[in-house]
Amino acid sequence: MSESHEQQSDARADDSVGASSNEATAIAAAKSSLRQEMCERIAAIPAAAREFRSAAICAHAARASMWARTRLVLAYRALPDEVDVDPLLRELIARGVRVAFPAVSAQGKLRLFEFEDAATQCVLDVRGNWTRDRFGIRAPRATAIGVRLRRAHELDAVIVPARAFDQHGTRLGRGKGFYDALLAHLRGNARRATMGIAFREQVVARVPRATHDQPVAWLASDIGLRRVDRDDAR
């Protein structure tokens, strides 16, 4: 290759890197702006309404056909500004579905814990079972009786919180990347059993998406339940 061709190639490569960097910066800025907007939208929902609407969203979510094939689901304990999925978890536990929960260690590592004896619904109500992780989220106490460590490849389904979702299942998280990394390591069947949970105010026309962002397959909100990885409802 001639020197002039090498210089042209290098220039194109530099342009490509610059464009990619600019695009990433633009996506990050758009995400930050949308997070702020979602924070304001959620804050405008009265606490009593969040509780009532959470129960309605859980009722929609419980209708999904994916639960018939689910033995172990990863769920979450809600922060005050998230949909409370406890009603859904009680229903799933009653159906015999096992439930695991995430916890971020002080070292920043995501771990998954299951209460092996969670055949009873009271596991959610025993205060001694729970602690707060690095980000203040309720998580299983590692020393609680019957707690067992689980791996992503063992999961059959995942219930996913977020700041926002769009109608294609694209998710805007809090920016830490834990769920994106987790969803990327799921088995094929489990990837088709990922459910986003949100208030209708959190469902937007478009969520900015980077290459590492992982979408969900189902979306449950006040609007109803929808299979978003294909164009039909269930």
- pLDDT class for 14, splitting at 50, 70, 90? very low
Whole-angstrom distance, CA of residue 47 vs CA of residue 50: 5
Q: What is the pLDDT of residues 104-123, one digit of tens each?
A: 888 888 999 998 865 555 67
Beta strands 164-166; 194-197: pairing state: unpaired
Report the C-alpha gap between 39 and 41 in whole angstroms. 6
For the chain, which domains are there?
41-227 (3.40.50.10420)
Average pLDDT over all residues of the chain: 87
Whether 161 has a pLDDT exceeding 50, the answer reads yes
CA quadruple 35, 203, 60, 69: dihedral positive or negative? negative
CB neighbours of 32 closer than 8 A, spacing ≥ 6?
Answer: none
Per-residue model confidence (pLDDT) at position 10 = 39
Q: Residue 53: which pLDDT band, with cuts at 50, 70 and 90?
A: very high
- CA 147 – CA 129 distance, rounded (Å): 9
Q: Which pLDDT tens digit goes with each residue over 60-108?
A: 999 999 999 999 999 999 999 999 999 999 999 999 999 999 998 888 8
Q: What percent of the chain stands above pLDDT 90? A: 65
Q: Enter the pTM of the model.
A: 0.84
| DSSP 8-state assignment for residue 79 | P
- For residue 30, give both structure tokens: 């758009």
- In whole angstroms, what is the distance from residue 206 CA to residue 215 CA? 12
Least confident span in 119-123, 131-135, 150-154, 157-161: 119-123
